[in-house]
Amino acid sequence: MLISEFIDYLLLEKKYSTHTATAYKADLSSFLEFYKQEYELSDIDKANYAQIRSWIVNLVDQDVSNRTINRKVSSLKTYYKFLLKLGQVEKNPLAKHQALKAPKKLQIPFSTQEIEDVIKDLTDNTDFESVRNRLIVELFYATGIRRIELVNLKFSDIDIRAKQIKVLGKRNKERFLPLLSSVCETMQLYLTLRSDLIRDEEVSFLLLTKKGVKIYETLVYRIINNYFSKASSKVKKSPHILRHSFATHLLNEGANLNAVKELLGHSSLAATQVYTHHSVAQLTKVYKQSHPRNKK
């Protein structure tokens, strides 16, 4: 088996994040464990579709969601593509596999009022952590960046004079995003507090903890979840919902779908189209309220 080589390929050639590569490895390990127990074999490179299908059936019997099963199978399919590329297998056993039907996951964005309430709440305090947290909320909502992109922002990526930031997205693809004047004001205040906190020029990352080290993803999640739990009754309160809100609100106000695609850093328009659901809902509401014949 070439699982270790496959993970290296994902990290070094495909430029996947460590988190993504770890997920692939876990999915392959899941099939390997089943393959050993069910067939008493240890080389998944030689597995056939019937054996893989029995694994899928086993997952269904365990009440694993179709969405999770599809992700696991996709990881395995990508592994076989890798083996095919190296000439280690003659065909991909999952080449003709059809993904299980999975219900569309509806993400409910925050309202503009909920976001404004959180920002207002954070504006009342001017200590380092409060200003940093306000900047995090404003950056998410003003730019739509991903959580990992925010965490990895460098001090050198910020250009307040030009009112823009440079973001390193998936597969090391760079994009430049505009900043609102209000965000630049918060940024300026944060940078002043940041310089008072740390004098070490070696700390290149923009967002820091109060100890002066790079902020981390779980802390960012806790910050968003904590503040939005006070302002919103929605079930899911995460950085991704702020990204979702950014895209939905832009589309609701008439933004071009292709422009939103570029702002989000999506590689295909299909990925951006998931945000149009709420835009259509908004248009339908306006239509029903405004059309003359609907008032009769």
Selecting among 132, 243, 244, 249, the annotated active-site residue is 243
Q: What phi, psi does 158 have (nearest 5°)?
A: -100, 130
pLDDT at residue 285 above 60? no
Q: Please, is 132 exposed, middle or buried when counting C-beta atoms within 10 Å of its C-beta (0-12, 13-18, 19+)?
A: buried
Q: What is the pLDDT of residue 273?
A: 74
pLDDT at residue 3 above 70? yes
Bridge partner residues of 114 (DSSP): none
pLDDT at residue 292 above 80? no
Please choose, from the candidates 132, 169, 154, the residue with its C-alpha nearest in 3D space to the C-alpha of residue 203.
Answer: 154
Separation between Cα atoms, residue 145 and residue 137, nearest integer Å: 11
Task: Check residues 201 and 92 and name the one with the higher pLDDT.
Answer: 92
What is the pLDDT averaged over residues 1-5? 89
Examine the residue annotation and report whether 146 is marked as an active-site residue of this protein: yes
Selecting among 146, 194, 244, 249, the annotated active-site residue is 146
Q: What is the pLDDT of residue 295?
A: 55
Separation between Cα atoms, residue 273 and residue 122, nearest integer Å: 32
Q: What is the pLDDT of residue 201?
A: 61
Its pTM stands at: 0.65
Percent of the chain with pLDDT over 70: 90
**Which overall architecture, per CATH, does domain 112-246 show?**
Orthogonal Bundle (1.10)
SS3 (DSSP) at 69: helix
Separation between Cα atoms, residue 244 and residue 141, nearest integer Å: 9
Express each pLDDT in 146-188 by its tens digit. 999 999 999 999 999 999 999 998 888 899 999 999 999 999 9
Selecting among 16, 24, 190, 275, the annotated active-site residue is 275
Examine the residue annotation and report whether 170 is marked as an active-site residue of this protein: yes
Mean pLDDT of the chain: 88
Examine the residue annotation and report whether 275 is marked as an active-site residue of this protein: yes
Express each pLDDT in 99-149 by its tens digit. 888 776 667 889 999 999 999 999 988 999 999 999 999 999 999 999 999
Please choose, from the candidates 245, 206, 235, the residue with its C-alpha nearest in 3D space to the C-alpha of residue 116.
Answer: 245
What is the pLDDT averaged over residues 232-238? 83
DSSP state of 157: G
Structure tokens at 263: 């702002």
Q: What is the pLDDT of residue 149?
A: 94
Selecting among 67, 71, 214, 240, the annotated active-site residue is 240
Examine the residue annotation and report whether 72 is marked as an active-site residue of this protein: no
Domain ranges of the chain: 3-86, 112-246
